[in-house]
């Protein structure tokens, strides 16, 4: 090889289906890193990830492969590229393409390494859409270095890396489409360290950035070496990150590269929510959103996320008071909107509530008021917000947290209305901690103001839907600290009743919460999408039947 090799780690934000747009991003990266020897792009960067059933359309898969051929010709000068793409095989009787990582250099396609390990768990369903390679693509000689290509899941098992080592690989490169969850960084580093330790080879990990439907991709590219040196790129930021390599007696060594420090806890989760919201809105072709601002913590946090994602000028908050709305809710909603600098309107709903209840009086007769009248208020608010979004060309954000979504403490066609829900995968207890974190921090690339944007009283007052006199959430639900721990045990951990009870919970409460969880499935199926940040979100991760008669035994 030459004395030194410059390999650039490209954290791009591709668009699913946007082949031409993705090609232009690749071209722009090549122009910016014109002095590099090689640029490594994420998994399926040509099609965007995950393309799901789109790759089963022959025309789409063929267009992706044609795009790779076109980009390959452009490498006759300038940096070589490693790019991911669906890879149809005309010789195969299987309509599914392969998921390939392709090295293009010297104006041609040098090799296409087909993915072997196709994940079929959690949010992944790749065997549905891709064929699995039967064998490893041998290491590729690039400027005197033998490169072993592994596509995403291939890195997570030892077989591919071991075989590449046996065939003479000197460097392992693993492009990924790895979605964010709070535990993902430790898991990735653990698997990469295992491959490096087993093979004695350095490893490059590259991942995409951005939001796609319910998934958020955090980037987090890194280089890991046998001396345990890890060079990390920033999280949640697009960019090109050069690494410099030299060949020494013991093998290939990375002597320079990015040196970002990765944050933890709320400093991870909040940027993920902002990025997921920003990309969902903008990739949908919209710029502005409308939010019902109640004076409660959920809608305040959503307003802060939206403001950081889109800028204050693109966020409209609407307070819709009824006879049950407290003065402090009116004051707190206004204070929050002013602190964020967003547009703020008040649209009272009492006139509509009176009209609808009067209209229904002949049918309801002397029946006492119950949840029907409460839900009517929520649905009037939902309809009002939808009218505003239609009139001003915006999208509506809903504001229900994961705890509420879990137990059905939400009204269909009311507060569940919306195109997207930024906190759908955030438990109520985490809502509080994220609100406090945002008051003390600014997110990188955030567009909102610094300082206390969520008034302290919103954080400290008891949560209430304010649909009847003196209503509190704990009138209908266990305390959120109890509820969230039980839900986490049922959803993320799949624990049995005895295991959850052993944590100190009352058996009847656990049984009730599970009943609420199962009965609310029909509501969740009609809920808007939202960014996945936990290990198991509602939707892609957790697929339970709507009609479900199973209940766990207490003993």
Q: Which residues are catalytic?
A: 43, 115, 152
The reply to whether 530 sits in an annotated binding site is: no
The DSSP code sequence of 349-417 is -HHHHHHHHHHHHHHHTTPPP-HHHHHHHHHHHHHHHHHHHHHHT-EEEP---HHHHHHT-S-TTTTT-
**Residue 332 in marked binding region:** no
| Tokens describing residue 40 | 């490594």
294 is in an annotated binding site: yes
- Tell me the CB-side half-sphere exposure of residue 433, using CA atoms within 13 A: 13
Cβ atoms of residues 45 and 102 within 8 Å: no
Give helix then strand counts, H and E, for the chain: 16, 19
296 has binding-site annotation: yes
Please tell me whether the peptide bond between 77 and the residue prior to it is cis, using omega within 30 degrees of 0. Answer: no
- State the residue for tokens 């950081």: 308
Tokens found for residue 336? 């929050």
Going by the DSSP 8-state scheme, the letter that residue 536 receives in this structure is S
H-type alpha helices, 449-495: 456-460, 480-491
522 vs 302, 411, 508, 541, 547, CA distance in Å? Answer: 24, 12, 23, 16, 8
> Is position 293 annotated in a ligand binding site?
yes
**259 has binding-site annotation:** no
State the Cα–Cα distance between residues 263 and 442, nearest whole angstrom: 13
Tell whether 297 is in a known binding site. yes
Asked if 528 contacts 425 with a C-beta cutoff of 8 angstroms, the reply is no
Contact between residue 64 and residue 19 where contact means Cβ atoms under 8 Å apart? yes
- The response to whether 375 counts as a known ligand-binding position is yes
Q: Is 398 annotated as a binding residue?
A: no
Distance between CA 347 and CA 292 in Å, rounded?
10
Mutual angle of helices 266-283 and 428-440, in 10-degree steps: 90
523 is an annotated ligand-binding site residue: yes
Q: What is the CA radius of gyration of the chain?
A: 26
Which residues fall in the annotated binding site for deamido-NAD(+)? Answer: 375, 404, 523
Annotated binding site for ATP: 292-299, 399
Residue numbers belonging to the annotated binding site for L-glutamine: 121, 178
């Amino acid at each position: 090889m030459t004395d030194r090799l410059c390999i650039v780690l490209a954290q791009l934000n591709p668009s699913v289906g946007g082949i031409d747009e993705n090609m232009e991003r690749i071209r722009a990266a090549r122009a910016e890193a014109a002095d590099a020897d090689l640029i490594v792009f994420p998994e399926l960067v040509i099609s965007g990830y995950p393309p799901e059933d789109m790759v089963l359309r022959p025309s789409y898969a063929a267009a992706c492969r044609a795009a790779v051929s076109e980009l390959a010709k452009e490498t006759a000068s300038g940096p070589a590229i490693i790019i991911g793409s669906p890879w149809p095989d005309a010789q195969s009787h299987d309509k599914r393409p392969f998921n390939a990582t392709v090295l293009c250099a010297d104006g041609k396609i040098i090799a296409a390494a087909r993915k072997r390990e196709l994940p079929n768990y959690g949010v992944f369903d790749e065997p549905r859409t891709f064929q699995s390679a039967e064998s490893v693509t041998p290491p590729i000689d690039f400027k005197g270095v033998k490169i072993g290509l592994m596509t995403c899941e291939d890195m997570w098992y030892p077989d591919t890396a071991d075989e590449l080592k046996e065939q003479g690989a000197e460097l392992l490169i693993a492009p990924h489409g790895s979605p964010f969850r709070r535990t993902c960084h430790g898991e990735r580093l653990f698997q990469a360290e295992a491959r490096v330790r087993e093979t004695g080879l350095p490893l490059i990990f590259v991942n995409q950035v951005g939001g796609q439907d319910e998934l958020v991709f955090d980037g987090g590219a890194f280089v890991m070496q046998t001396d345990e040196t890890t060079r990390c790129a920033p999280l949640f930021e697009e960019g090109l990150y050069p690494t410099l390599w030299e060949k020494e007696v013991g093998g290939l060594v990375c002597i320079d590269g990015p040196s970002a420090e990765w944050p933890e806890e709320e400093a991870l989760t909040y940027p993920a929510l902002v990025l997921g919201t920003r990309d969902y809105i903008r990739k949908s072709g919209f710029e502005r959103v409308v939010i019902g601002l109640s004076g409660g913590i959920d809608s305040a946090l959503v307003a802060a996320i939206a403001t950081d994602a889109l800028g204050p000028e693109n966020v409209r908050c609407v307070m819709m008071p009824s006879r049950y709305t407290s003065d402090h809710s009116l004051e707190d909603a206004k204070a929050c909107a002013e602190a964020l600098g967003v547009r703020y309107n008040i649209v009272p709903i009492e006139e509509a509530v009176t009209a609808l209840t009067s209209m229904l009086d002949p049918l309801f007769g002397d029946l006492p008021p119950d949840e029907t009248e409460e839900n009517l208020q929520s649905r009037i608010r939902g309809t009002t917000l939808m009218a505003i979004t239609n009139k001003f060309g915006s999208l509506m954000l809903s504001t229900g947290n994961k705890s509420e979504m879990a137990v059905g403490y939400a009204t269909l066609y009311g507060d569940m209305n919306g195109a997207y829900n930024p906190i759908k995968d955030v438990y109520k207890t985490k809502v509080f901690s994220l609100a406090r974190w945002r008051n003390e921090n600014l997110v990188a690339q955030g567009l909102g103001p610094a300082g206390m944007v969520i008034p302290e009283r919103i954080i400290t007052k008891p949560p209430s839907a304010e649909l009847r006199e003196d209503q509190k959430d704990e009138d209908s639900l266990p305390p959120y600290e109890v509820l969230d721990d039980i839900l986490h045990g049922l959803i993320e951990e799949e624990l049995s009743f005895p295991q959850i009870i052993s944590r100190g919970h009352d058996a009847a409460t656990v049984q009730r919460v599970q009943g609420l969880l199962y009965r609310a499935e029909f509501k969740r199926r009609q809920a808007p999408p939202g960014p996945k940040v936990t290990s198991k979100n509602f939707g892609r991760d957790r697929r339970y039947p709507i009609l479900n008669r199973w209940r766990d035994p207490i003993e």
